[in-house]
Amino acid sequence: MKVIRSVKEMQNTMLEQKSSGKSIGFVPTMGYLHEGHLTLIKQARRENDVVAVSIFVNPLQFGANEDLSTYPRDFERDSQLAEESGADYLFYPDASEMYPRPLAIKVTVGDRTDVLCGRSRPGHFDGVAAVLLKLFNIVVPDFAYFGMKDAQQVAVIDMLITDYNIPVTLKTVETVRESDGLAKSSRNVYLQPNEREEAVILNKSLNEAREGIINGERDPEKVLSFMRERIQQNSSGTIDYIELYSYPELKPVKEIKGTIIIALAVKFTKARLIDNTIISI
Ligand code: PAF
């Protein structure tokens, strides 16, 4: 696996690969790789001639009071894991390489962002869209792989690709979970031992809600208040949001039908965890 830190070198290398007829699978990450990322890399490996992974903690997607400076980083471990999972190229630019000057042309995401993490993290998805526009132009992938844990991110990227006619196909991969159901996340390391135990209720309550809907519940408010109670009674975390929308449009629904998402974010002492379930009925 080759590590490349320069934008120009990465772009030239990828364009060469592409012009020799190779398909490129791309897994963009912010590093501190866990099994969720490795699943994406392995799937990209199975489906492409060339696999590129990027590690870039993108400052544009962090708010002023968020965890940019403390976001976990471990390049040595990440590069070993990326290589073992099948990456051919690891793009690892620093912030001045990606943003030599502040962007003069900004990306503003105008839909699917007034709810869930978009509401709690104003500007977050503008930063995600901006960095992905750059990364897609640098890596020129045929396929880009994203985990469904960030379902709102997937809904936004789907719109970005459509609105800007980016010649890449979005591939999504199911959330990878610990054996007790907790969604894998780079931020799980910040949970205190009791919080780690309590955090199981996040996925559990989503599964219970799913079961209720499969068994006939159609009232979003009933589903959400049931989940709120379950989480409040079983964890010390503070609920940031628990919401239910149509998916991928992320519009409120009066009655549960079609494809919907139930998504939640819960804040623990040093980690804010997200999880979701998508149900089609
Ligand atoms: O999901 C992430 O890790 C990031 O939002 C992404 C897609 C790599 C953009 O910085």
For the segment 113-122, the average pLDDT, to the nearest whole number, is 93
Largest Cα–Cα separation, the chain: 58
Note whether 206 and 186 are within 8 A (CB): no
State residue 66's pLDDT score. Answer: 86
What is the whole-number distance in angstroms between the Cα of residue 127 and the centre of ligand 1?
9
**Is 163 labeled as ligand-binding?**
no
What is the whole-number distance in angstroms between the Cα of residue 128 and the centre of ligand 1?
6
**Is 267 labeled as ligand-binding?**
no
- Confidence band (pLDDT; 50, 70, 90) for 24? very high
Options 17, 37, 157, 206, the catalytic residue: 37
Rounded to the nearest 10 degrees, the angle between the axes of helix 151-163 and helix 124-139 is: 60
State residue 65's pLDDT score. Answer: 85
For the segment 194-223, the average pLDDT, to the nearest whole number, is 98
What is the whole-number distance in angstroms between the Cα of residue 142 and the centre of ligand 1?
18
pLDDT digits (tens, 9 = 90+) for 123-158: 999 999 999 999 999 999 999 999 999 999 999 999
**Is 181 labeled as ligand-binding?**
no
Mutation pick for ligand 1 pocket among 41, 107, 132, 135 (CB with most ligand atoms within 8 Å)? 132
pLDDT digits (tens, 9 = 90+) for 58-91: 999 999 888 899 888 999 999 999 999 999 999 9
For residue 1, pLDDT beyond 90 = yes
CATH architecture under which domain 2-173 falls: 3-Layer(aba) Sandwich (3.40)
For residue 7, pLDDT beyond 90 = yes
Note whether 263 and 119 are within 8 A (CB): no
For residue 120, pLDDT beyond 90 = no
For the segment 47-56, the average pLDDT, to the nearest whole number, is 98
Strand pairing class (2-4; 259-267): unpaired
What is the whole-number distance in angstroms between the Cα of residue 28 and the centre of ligand 1?
6
Which ligand 1 atom is at minimum distance from the Cα of 58?
Answer: 10
- Confidence band (pLDDT; 50, 70, 90) for 186? confident
| Residues forming CATH 3.40.50.620 domain(s) in the chain | 2-173
Which ligand 1 atom is at minimum distance from the Cα of 128?
Answer: 9
How does the average pLDDT of the chain come out, rounded?
A: 97
**Class of domain 186-280 as given by CATH:** alpha beta
| Residues forming CATH 3.30.1300.10 domain(s) in the chain | 186-280
For the segment 254-265, the average pLDDT, to the nearest whole number, is 98
With a Cβ cut-off of 6 Å, ligand 1 is lined by 28-30, 58, 61, 128, 131-132, 150, 153
* Nearest protein Cα to ligand 1, atom 1: 29
Residue 267, strand partner residues: 238, 272
Q: Rounded distance, CA 54 to CA 27, Å?
A: 6
What is the whole-number distance in angstroms between the Cα of residue 216 and the centre of ligand 1?
36
Residue 211 neighbours by CB distance under 10 Å = 10
State residue 270's pLDDT score. Answer: 94
Q: Rounded distance, CA 96 to CA 102, Å?
A: 10
State residue 67's pLDDT score. Answer: 83
- Has 37 been annotated as catalytic? yes
Which ligand 1 atom is at minimum distance from the Cα of 56?
Answer: 10
For residue 237, pLDDT beyond 90 = yes
- Confidence band (pLDDT; 50, 70, 90) for 230? very high
More confident of the two residues 218 and 67: 218
* Nearest protein Cα to ligand 1, atom 9: 128
Which ligand 1 atom is at minimum distance from the Cα of 132?
Answer: 9
**Is 124 labeled as ligand-binding?**
no
* Nearest protein Cα to ligand 1, atom 6: 29
Note whether 250 and 155 are within 8 A (CB): yes
For residue 252, pLDDT beyond 90 = yes
For residue 281, pLDDT beyond 90 = yes
- pTM: predicted TM-score of the whole model, two decimal places: 0.93
